[in-house]
Amino acid sequence: MIKPILIHPDPRLKKPCAPVADLSDDLRALADDMLETMYHAPGIGLAAPQVGVLDRLIVMDCVKEGEPEPVVMFNPEVLSSSDDLNVYEEGCLSIPEQYADVTRPAAVRVGWIDMDGNPQEKDFDGLWATCVQHEIDHLNGKLFIDYLGPMKRQMITRKSQKMKREMARG
Ligand code: K1U
Ligand code: ZN
């Protein structure tokens, strides 16, 4: 089922999310719904707070062409980060049509719990590294605009607020 995506500003996008204690069928169904919502948007990632659920769950698929590679992560954690940095012009499904350069570590090692409840660890680079950091930020109530200066952040917030009002009017 495709879920509505919250649009910034929304207090639920600023709250830290709770770790998932037990993997239930409801949480697995939520992960499936989030993947469907992400592909429909379309996007390359989605975090549970973006659909109003304050649990530590993200989904991603950064493959641009060919076979899809959906990834579901419960309780994802950055275990280590490279010293070298990468700049990418990021967007966010919760801040429609706004983009800005964000600098982040170019590569990260991430640990998480998979759909079967098994612990996983993997190194990510390129777009996958940017995306997984963006999604984990969502779980900590942080948006990509929080990396920008106050003027640019305020300008994007005003545009997003306007877009949100227009979308509500239909
Ligand atoms: O978390 C989100 O809001 C999803 C976001 C993820 C992201 C994008 C860019 C850099 C870091 C993280 C998006 O998916 S925005 C849409 C997007 O990037 C895209 C849409 C269609 C095709 C390709 C990319
Ligand atoms: Zn986002």
**Full pLDDT tens readout for the chain, 170 residues:** 999 999 999 999 999 999 999 999 999 999 999 999 999 999 999 999 999 999 999 999 999 899 999 999 999 999 999 999 999 999 999 999 999 999 999 999 999 999 999 999 999 999 999 999 999 999 999 999 999 999 999 999 999 999 999 999 98
pLDDT at 151: 98
Pocket test for ligand 1, best of 10, 44, 64 (most atoms within 8 A of CB): 44
For the record, the structure tokens of 169 come out as 């009017």
Return the residue whose CA atom lies nearest to atom 22 of ligand 1: 43
Separation of alpha carbons 44 and 81, rounded Å: 21
- Backbone phi, then psi, for 19, in 5-degree steps? -60, 150
Cα torsion 119, 122, 128, 133: sign: positive
Cα torsion 31, 48, 19, 102: sign: positive
Question: Which residue is listed with tokens 């605009």?
Answer: 145
**Residue pair 5/37 in contact by the 8 Å Cβ criterion:** yes
Identify the helix (H) or strand (E) that includes residue 40.
Answer: helix 25-40
pTM over 0.95: yes
Ligand 1 geometric centre to CA of 115 (Å):
22
Pocket test for ligand 1, best of 59, 86, 92 (most atoms within 8 A of CB): 92
pLDDT at 170: 87
* Residue ranges with CB less than 5 Å from ion ligand 2: 92
pLDDT at 87: 98
**Residue pair 46/34 in contact by the 8 Å Cβ criterion:** yes
**Residue pair 45/131 in contact by the 8 Å Cβ criterion:** yes
DSSP 8-state assignment for residue 9: S
Separation of alpha carbons 10 and 7, rounded Å: 6
Separation of alpha carbons 8 and 99, rounded Å: 14
